[in-house]
Amino acid sequence: METDSKQKPERKPYQKPELVEYGELKDLTLGSGSARRTDLKVGSWTV
Amino acid sequence: MVNTSPGLSILGFEVEALQSYANNLELSDLLAPLMLSRAVAENLACDGITGALLILRQAPRPTLAVIGRFDETQGAYLKARARHLQQLCHNLHYVSYRQAEKDCRVLADRLRARLGDDLNRFYFQAMPRGGMVILGLLAYCLNLDRQRFEPPFPPDAPLVVVDDCALTGARLASFLARQAGPRVVFAPLYAPDQLRDAIQRQEKRVIACVSAHDLEVANDEVPGQLETLEQWQAHLPGKRYWVGNPEHVCFPWNEPDTFFWNAASARAEKNWHILPGELCLKNRLPEQITPVPLQIQPDGDGLFKPAEHVVYGDYEGGVVIGQLEDGRVIGLENTAAAMWRALISSASIEAAVDRLQNEYMVDETALTADLHDFIEKLLGRGIIKEN
């Protein structure tokens, strides 16, 4: 007897959809624009 | 301590920094953020940051975010490098192969002008590895015989030491410490004028420092909370003739390592590189290291699309959404994640319901009601908008 290879995958249990609060987003770019080259120093032991 | 919920942090991009990156590398507005994001993905993998996912949103303005469960140390690591990422892009001075060839002609002319007929008595030594590329080109420009750059050289032979760039002179200092006697002309293709002056003041054996181009130095500011550049120098290993803040010169074969002062760890730490391996030979990942996954955020061609201030990624089977406007991170798990995906890719509510019914054991009436309720919540929080 042939098996149906296109058989639908088993359906999953359903839950009511929720929006979960994960916390606060962090913007790590803040302060970088105005600082530009400040803080940036160069070392060259692979140059 | 590791957070239980995934966090979402914005790593880039500052508009001017990205523009400088695109202009330097002659990349389109779409390709520049992609290349920079790939570089970040490689850096994270090299530094052993596991379980991270990068999200690149191209429009309305390119934004790079990272999702993951990071402890305090990893959070500080990301923060410091994200800040310097923008600065390195501002500072970038990219030299293409074609430009390097032109520069070698200039360097050859300057060596001839500086040394005259005396140049014929010099032998040529390359600083591995970038200097070898330059010496190869310079040998053609100066029409050098092979024995002039093929060691061993005669004892006490005067040397022209060639490099692609010099930023602090650490490599020259290390070379001179191993080399007794000879007169040396130092010829980095690119170097700050201040460094060349410092070398000539401090090294009697160096009779001349010649470059094709000066590297611009931004300022004399001291990194982090250190008080003087001398303090900064003391934190770096090896001898240096000068420390400062020159342009971030890069080549198709080399991106120099850069360092910053981390006040929290009280040490000099290595920055990320900003050129991905496909744009810089030195930065190619070893085969055993796989870059951190990078998702390109789809615009959303369904009935709804993510709002302009939203960054989101598929993470651990769920969806993590960052709202740039109110700074909240929202998680959608299980059915909610599937609903999100159905909403932003289905052309109608009916199509979304059909798709979800194929996936979940639920009757159509309850599902449709929940979906409408879910849409209202997302619209109410400004997370989605109608296409």
Per-residue pLDDT reduced to its tens digit, B286-307: 999 999 999 999 887 888 999 9
Asked whether the predicted pLDDT for residue B86 surpasses 70, the reply is yes
3-state secondary structure of B353: helix
The one-character DSSP state at B246 is: B
Which one, of B262, B49, B12, B215, lies nearest residue A40 by Cα? B262
Please answer yes or no on whether B260 and A39 come within 8 Å at the CB atom: yes
Note the pLDDT of residue A35.
43
Note the pLDDT of residue B235.
78
| Residues in chain A closer than 8 A to B331 (CB atoms) | 19-22
Mean pLDDT: which of A25-29, B12-16, B346-350 is highest? Answer: B346-350
| Residues in chain B closer than 8 A to A32 (CB atoms) | 14, 17, 82-87
Asked whether the predicted pLDDT for residue B33 surpasses 90, the reply is yes
Share of chain B above pLDDT 90, in %: 79
- From the CA of A7, how many Å to the nearest CA of chain B? 12
Lowest mean pLDDT among A26-30, B274-278, B321-325, B327-331: A26-30
Which one, of B118, B145, B296, B114, lies nearest residue B209 by Cα? B114
Nearest to A44 among B256, B260, B333 (CB): B256
Reported as a pLDDT band with limits 50, 70 and 90, residue B10 is very high
d(CA B113, CA B105): 12
d(CA B265, CA B262): 6
| Residues in chain B closer than 8 A to A41 (CB atoms) | 223, 232, 243-245, 258-261
Asked whether the predicted pLDDT for residue B236 surpasses 90, the reply is no
Note the pLDDT of residue B385.
94
Nearest to A11 among B85, B331, B359 (CB): B359
Q: Which residues of B239-257 are buried (b: 16+ CB within 10 A; e: fewer)?
A: ebbbbbbbbbbbbbbbbbb
* A28 interfaces chain B, CB cutoff of 8 Å: yes
- Rounded to an integer, the average pLDDT of B7-12 is 94
Under 8 Å CB pairs connecting chains A and B tally to 202
| Residues in chain B closer than 8 A to A24 (CB atoms) | 327-329
d(CA B378, CA B306): 9
Note the pLDDT of residue A43.
47
The number of angstroms, rounded, from the C-alpha of B96 to the middle of its chain's C-alpha atoms is 17
From the candidates B87, B89, B381, which should be mutated to test the interface with A, based on the most A CB atoms within 10 A?
B87
Q: For B46-82, how does the pLDDT look when each residue is reduced to its tens digit (9 = 90+)? A: 999 989 999 999 989 999 999 999 998 899 899 889 9
Question: CA torsion, points B264, B270, B275, B276, in degrees to nearest 10?
Answer: -90
Note the pLDDT of residue A6.
54
Task: Give the tokens for residue B204.
Answer: 């009697």
| The three-state (H, E, C) secondary structure of B187-218, written as one string | EEEEECHHHHHHHHHHCCCEEEECCCEECCEC
- From the CA of B367, how many Å to the nearest CA of chain A? 9
The number of angstroms, rounded, from the C-alpha of B229 to the middle of its chain's C-alpha atoms is 24
Asked whether the predicted pLDDT for residue A25 surpasses 80, the reply is yes
From the candidates A7, A29, A41, A46, which should be mutated to test the interface with B, based on the most B CB atoms within 10 A?
A41
Nearest to B330 among A8, A21, A41 (CB): A21
pLDDT, greater one: B280 or B12:
B280
Please answer yes or no on whether A33 and B218 come within 8 Å at the CB atom: no
Please answer yes or no on whether A17 and B332 come within 8 Å at the CB atom: yes
d(CA B328, CA B326): 6
Asked whether the predicted pLDDT for residue B200 surpasses 90, the reply is yes
Residue of chain B whose alpha carbon sits nearest to that of A18: B336
Which domains does chain B possess? Answer: 7-94+252-294 (no CATH), 97-214 (3.40.50.2020), 299-386 (3.90.930)
Those residues with Cβ within 8 angstroms of residue B288's Cβ, 6 or more apart along the chain or in another chain: none
Please answer yes or no on whether A47 and B9 come within 8 Å at the CB atom: no
Query: Exposed, middle or buried by CB within 10 Å (0-12, 13-18, 19+), for B359?
Result: middle
Asked whether the predicted pLDDT for residue A47 surpasses 70, the reply is no
Asked whether the predicted pLDDT for residue B219 surpasses 70, the reply is no
**What value, to the nearest 5°, has the Cα angle with vertex A18 and ends B331 and B384?**
65
Nearest to B361 among A11, A24, A43 (CB): A11
User: What's the mean per-residue pLDDT of chain B?
Assistant: 92
Note the pLDDT of residue B40.
98
CB atoms under 10 Å from CB of B45, counted, come to 18
pLDDT, greater one: A21 or B269:
A21
DSSP B41-84: HHHHHHTT--S-EEEEE-SSS-EEEEEE---HHHHHHHHHHHHH
Q: For B305-360, how does the pLDDT look when each residue is reduced to its tens digit (9 = 90+)? A: 999 999 999 999 999 999 999 999 999 999 999 999 999 999 999 999 999 999 99
Those residues with Cβ within 8 angstroms of residue B65's Cβ, 6 or more apart along the chain or in another chain: B8, B9, B10, B11, B54, B55, B57, B311, B313, B322
Reported as a pLDDT band with limits 50, 70 and 90, residue B366 is very high
Task: Give the tokens for residue B136.
Answer: 């190869």
Asked whether the predicted pLDDT for residue B224 surpasses 70, the reply is no
